[in-house]
A = this chain, B = another copy of it.
Amino acid sequence: MTTNFESLLAKVHEIDDLNKALALLSWDREANMPVAGTAVRVQQMTTLSRLTHMMFTSDEMGELIEAGADEVVGADFESNDASLIRLLRRNYADARKLPPDFVARVSRISGHAHKAWVQAREENDFASYQPWLEQIVELGQEKAELYGYEDEKYDALLDQYEHGMKTAEVRAIFAALKDRLVPLRQAIQGRGVEVDDSLLYQSFDVGKQKEFARYIAPKVGYDLSRGHIGTVVHPFASSFSRDDSRITTRWYPDFLSPSLFGTLHESGHAIYEQGTHPDLARTPLARGTSLGVHESQSRMMENIVGRSLGFWRAHFPHLQSLFPEQLGEHKVEGFYRAINKVQPAFIRVEADELSYNFHIILRFELEQALMNGQLLVKDVPEAWNEKMETLLGVVPPTDSEGCLQDVHWSKPMFGYFPTYALGNLYAAQFYETAVAQEPDIGEEMAGGKTETLLVWLREHIHQHGRKFTPRELVQRVTGRPLGYEAFVRYATAKFSEIYEL
């Protein structure tokens, strides 16, 4: 006989399968689809989005969850069954707050807005995108109201990406971070050391860049036999199961960093999904628990591992062998300094580890203002440039390099950006804990190896998927709540050495 919990699981699997089909429609749109296919693809995605929403928010589903829950009352908090019930209850309550026609509207409008954004960015034409962004902002505000909030509108949006985190809390952490990082950046600039990173800006054959990506991704633990590297405008990772967890990269023929660190970054994301426990398959537990924690894995591989001297002592020779003309004469120390150059720049995804946080703070502040109505869409380019001046001391020459650079605002993904900087903080805190618990990690890292680190990450973070909230996870793994301190220690030590402070 089928138990209620088994019936619930069958339904959960069905909905997960549909969600993965939807994810594939989305991945494919960016990685393969001809632009001409957009109109019909948007309709296809709208249909699947509407169907899964309808299935998951039905009264029947609510009854199924509660009937299943009754059967596993008393199960360990850490068990898969209890964790699934917790997550389903939360997701169900949230999803019921969004009426089907709102969901369909979001899918339809964001489909068109995304197309408009791609074109606006290509043609540096914010005006053509403005009416779409206005609709997107309204959708964001509407969403916040539908979810509801106690303190401020932005809380409702942030909660969707970093469950349990409050805007006030992020504001406090970011303020403390600014207090520590601004003096560090000033010290670096005051030192007057000019790092030469011209070696990164040479002609690099794209085919060979791809070859190197396939070499380097497994070095940070990405299992390519369960993965795939695609090409897109704005890189992302996407998984359709733990055994099909993909990354995408962009390739510049005259600049090495984007493909190099993009690959390492997205590999970090993909590894997280590949490491979820097989028993969680085809359920919403088989994902990273939050965007911030997800970002901690990508940032760890991109920066803590991927911009370390030990890593490149081990792998720079292979890079040199692919590009002997460009890199053959260079020493690994020079390469290491180049990839760690602190330099305010326009593009977030190419920013150094320090500047990156200011990019996020900028977006965090603008988003709050947009949601509260203190900032109008038409004034975004000006506000963007003013904040760039204040925070980073530079002004982008075009909107394409400014407020049009990110994909996020072509969807109502407000509340998403802060998770990037939170990712840096989680990463440092996790890494500090890992090294304290497993001293081998430090030694291995000096030799460019990541084996023990990966075992630790899989054991303490990856396998659990979404069983614990970010707050539960960081407490459980590091013994304390998220703070800014570990990152400040890490960054201070690293850049003090590089810049001889």
Contacts from A to B (Cβ < 8 Å): 13-14, 17-18, 20-22, 24-25, 28, 31-37, 39-41, 43-44, 46-48, 51, 207, 224-228, 230, 240-241, 243-244, 246, 281-282
Contact = CB atoms under 8 A, between A and B. Distances in A.
Given A13-B43, A40-B281, A243-B39, A225 B34 contact: yes
A48 B55 CA distance: 14
Nearest to A39: B243
Given A28-B28, A47-B14, A47-B18, A40 B228 contact: no
Contacts of A43: 13, 17, 282
B17 A48 contact: yes
A244 B40 contact: yes
Contacts of A228: 32-34
A13 B47 CA distance: 9
A243 B36 contact: yes
Given A17-B43, A37-B244, 17 more contacts: A17-B47, A18-B48, A18-B51, A21-B25, A24-B28, A28-B28, A32-B230, A32-B246, A33-B240, A33-B244, A34-B224, A36-B226, A36-B244, A40-B243, A40-B244, A41-B240, A41-B241
Could you tell me the dominant secondary structure of chain A's interface residues? Answer: helix
Contact of A24 (B17, B25, B39, B51): B25
Contacts of A246: 32
Nearest to A230: B32
A274 to B, nearest CB: 10
A244 B21 CA distance: 17
B32 A17 contact: no
Nearest to A241: B40
A246 B35 CA distance: 13
B18 A244 contact: no
A51 B11 CA distance: 12
A17 B246 CA distance: 24
B230 A37 contact: no
A13 B241 CA distance: 28
Contacts of A28: 24, 28
Contacts of A46: 17
B243 A37 contact: yes
A17 B37 contact: no
8 contacts: A18-B48, A24-B24, A24-B28, A34-B225, A34-B226, A35-B225, A40-B241, A41-B240
Contacts of A22: 21
A301 B246 CA distance: 36
The 8 A-B residue pairs with the shortest CB-CB distance in the complex, in nearest-first order: A37-B244, A40-B241, A17-B47, A36-B243, A17-B44, A36-B226, A21-B21, A37-B243
Contact of A41 (B34, B44, B51, B244): B244
A24 B22 CA distance: 10
Contact of A37 (B33, B40, B241): B241
Contacts of A227: 34
A33 B46 CA distance: 24
Nearest to A207: B207
Contacts of A44: 17, 20-21, 240
Nearest to A19: B44
Contacts of A230: 32
A37 B270 CA distance: 14
A375 to B, nearest CB: 37
Nearest to A224: B34
Contacts of A18: 47-48, 51
A20 B48 CA distance: 11
A218 to B, nearest CB: 13
Give the one of A24, A33, A48, A281 with max B CB within 10 A: A24
Nearest to A226: B36
A114 B201 CA distance: 46
Contacts of A36: 225-226, 243-244
Contacts of A25: 21, 24
Contacts of A13: 43, 47
Contacts of A241: 37, 39-41
A452 B35 CA distance: 27
Contacts of A20: 40, 44
Given A24-B28, A25-B24, A244 B47 contact: no
A85 to B, nearest CB: 22
A244 B41 CA distance: 9
Contacts of A34: 224-228, 243-244
Give the one of A20, A33, A37, A46 with max B CB within 10 A: A37
Contacts of A14: 47, 51
